Amino acid sequence: MILRRQKADKPDFQELNSMVAAMRSLLENSPQTALTLEELLGFQDADGSFRLLEGDGIPSDARVDFCSVPTYCGAAILMKEYLSGKRYRAPALARALAASLACGLVGHGYEAEQGRIAALRVFIKGGLRQFLEAEWELYPEFHNKVHNILHDYRTRLLRGGDYTKGSWNEDYRLHWQEIADQLKLSKRLYIAYGSNMDRDQMERRCPGAKVVGPTYLHGWALTMPHFANIEKHPGRRTPALVWEITSEHERALDRCEGYPTCYSKVNIIVNVAGKLVSAMAYVMTDEYKSEHRSAREEYREQILKGYRDAGFDEEEFHPVEG
């Protein structure tokens, strides 16, 4: 089969569907596929995509089916190639991931969430779990997007009820649970900005966690409703310490932080030793922030100790009102 781009005003849907099916077969290593890897790689557009339609005025459903989906398939195939040891595929993979983000990782119209689920399933076939666990420095914007989707899924699953339903009352619980289970990570990067910058406390909570390095959360301000929190604040920056933690460590932190009731999770792109990575931080929920609580007396000193441990000056500890 020869991949070719069609004009949007003269689509041949039978051929378009055949080309998408061939890309899916190549991703799944089907012996019946008529598409070769070399042909696919030669088809990648300058913008990193694998779109099958070109021109103006492409309907939204056709844009998803014949521009977005082929791009996800091509990116997932490149991901599988890269993870198999072909590191020279990194530039092409990074371009494909950028193009995938430009597609939005969603479906069209009321099928937006179904499209997002389908996109994640495509990347899972390409080795998404291994990519998220081990390739932190390769296009962190993609890591950030996927992690934040997963945070949303897992928070909604834990809350249950209407939280797992879409705008048309469709229930995504089983689909989200399937994806969450397939993307359970054995390790991840974690951003500590409060008392968990204190290495002694982290050793008690997460024995064996590894320090990756200090960083700043640009565009985030430290607030102290009662315990430490971060909130988006243009022009501010918050000192933080990045750790590599295991899934067991994360479960311990979830208990300590009261996730998802007291704190939710968000991934943020940070610079550690000159390298950009996406890492997870806990952010206080509005419900918990509004509670009238008091931190223990030694809490402030513990945060200052963490600042000293991470190499920050104590004078950088100046929380703002949230």
Of the pLDDT bands very low, low, confident and very high (cuts 50, 70, 90), residue 46 is: very high
Please tell me whether residues 37 and 163 are part of one structural domain. yes
- Is residue 95 within 8 Å of residue 48, measured between CB atoms? yes
Which residue range is the domain that position 236 belongs to? 187-316
**Last residue of one domain, picked from the residues 135, 150, 182:** 182
- Taken in order 228, 232, 236, 239, the sign of the CA dihedral is positive
Residue 174 pLDDT greater than 90, yes or no: yes
Asked if residue 322 is part of any domain, the answer here is: no
pLDDT (tens digit per residue) in 202-241: 999 999 999 999 999 999 999 999 999 999 999 999 999 9
Please tell me whether residues 232 and 97 are part of one structural domain. no
Please tell me whether residues 218 and 271 are part of one structural domain. yes
Residue 44 pairs with which residues in a beta bridge? none
**Last residue of one domain, picked from the residues 120, 148, 182:** 182
Please tell me whether residues 70 and 169 are part of one structural domain. yes
* 3-class SS shares of the chain: helix, strand, coil, % to 5: 50, 20, 30
Please tell me whether residues 87 and 168 are part of one structural domain. yes
CATH code, domain carrying 212: 3.10.490.10
Of the pLDDT bands very low, low, confident and very high (cuts 50, 70, 90), residue 168 is: confident
The chain-wide mean pLDDT, for the chain, equals 95
Asked if residue 272 is part of any domain, the answer here is: yes
pLDDT (tens digit per residue) in 282-296: 999 999 999 988 888
* pTM (predicted TM-score): 0.96
Asked if residue 154 is part of any domain, the answer here is: yes
Q: State how many domains the chain has.
A: 2
Question: Mean pLDDT, to the nearest integer, of 29-54?
Answer: 93
Question: Mean pLDDT, to the nearest integer, of 189-206?
Answer: 95
**Last residue of one domain, picked from the residues 158, 182, 206:** 182
What confidence score (pLDDT) does residue 322 get? 60
Of the pLDDT bands very low, low, confident and very high (cuts 50, 70, 90), residue 1 is: low
